[in-house]
Chains A and B, each alone.
Chain A
């Protein structure tokens, strides 16, 4: 008599639970700006929004497009293309931004397209290539995203905010 599917499954079942190999993961918020496909740690991405009027700031650093009010807060609006000297964005009233935070510091970053959240195995994180479009000092690593079949550069957002602040104050 042939064994039932249940009997077959039980025949293959282990005697005791085997130790699972944990593969630590991290979650990144992925977005596109110009030709750059970038990601930031999801803990540093507070929300995605469309900003209203951006008020330009006289004598501000070139990558600071201005300031905008958002939920009772005044946020600097940063163009990462200018920050990384990769061109410039031309924001309009429908331009998307994500709010990046590190502690009490917050800023709005212009994005052409929001891809979404991606979970990545830490082991799959590759080191930042030297001589890439984004300087390695601002990169945590790169990953291959199977959904977009592209390489995502994972930014070190706290470092980007720190550098933005330093560049602004030393002007």
Chain B
């Protein structure tokens, strides 16, 4: 079963799997289907620092952009994968628009976790 198929099946079931990570002191989440693996950072395939530069470490998320190229986003910490109810996800209000990368938010209790589009980073 492909990652997209898994994501679709999960969305039908009212849940979505998110990859949670921390970068420059902020917690982010991305669609699991856009991530291939956690790897060592490689500047040759970096998407740059659209969310700010990492503070430490040499880890990155390898992105599945489906364009035949390797892309990676440097991160500080990987917090893991979490299945999240879709009804806890929100679109970002227009005033909070900061480019096409943060596309929404996950209301995790009292904290708001920004949802980012990893593939959009590869086309900037």
| Interface residues in chain A, defined as those with a beta carbon under 8 Å from any beta carbon in chain B | 52-53, 55-61, 64, 66-69, 72-76, 78, 105-107, 161, 164-165, 168-169, 171
Contact = CB atoms under 8 A, between A and B. Distances in A.
Interface in B5-37: 26-27
Question: Which secondary structure characterizes the binding site on chain B?
Answer: mixed
Contacts of B93: 67, 74-76, 105-107
Contacts of A168: 94-98
B86 to A, nearest CB: 14
A103 to B, nearest CB: 12
Q: Which 4 A-B pairs have the closest CB atoms?
A: A60-B98, A76-B96, A59-B98, A76-B95
B112 A69 contact: yes
Which bracket fits the contact residues of B?
Answer: 20 to 34
B53 to A, nearest CB: 11
B107 A57 contact: no
Nearest to B94: A165
Nearest to B111: A53
5 contacts: A57-B102, A59-B98, A67-B112, A161-B95, A165-B95
Interface in B67-119: 90-99, 101-102, 105, 107, 110-114
A53 B93 CA distance: 17
Interface of B: 26-27, 50-52, 90-99, 101-102, 105, 107, 110-114
B50 A64 contact: no
A61 B99 CA distance: 10
A64 B110 contact: no
Given A52-B110, A55-B113, A57-B102, A73 B90 contact: yes
B105 A55 contact: yes
B112 A53 contact: yes
B98 A171 contact: yes
Contacts of B113: 55
A169 B26 CA distance: 22
Contacts of B91: 74
A52 B93 CA distance: 18
A69 B95 contact: no
A58 B91 CA distance: 16
Contacts of A66: 96
Given A53-B110, A56-B26, A57-B102, A64 B96 contact: yes
Contacts of A57: 96, 98, 102, 114
Most buried by B among A69, A106, A161, A169: A69
B105 to A, nearest CB: 5
Nearest to B97: A168
B111 A59 contact: no
B51 A107 contact: no
Given A67-B105, A72-B107, A74-B107, A55 B112 contact: yes
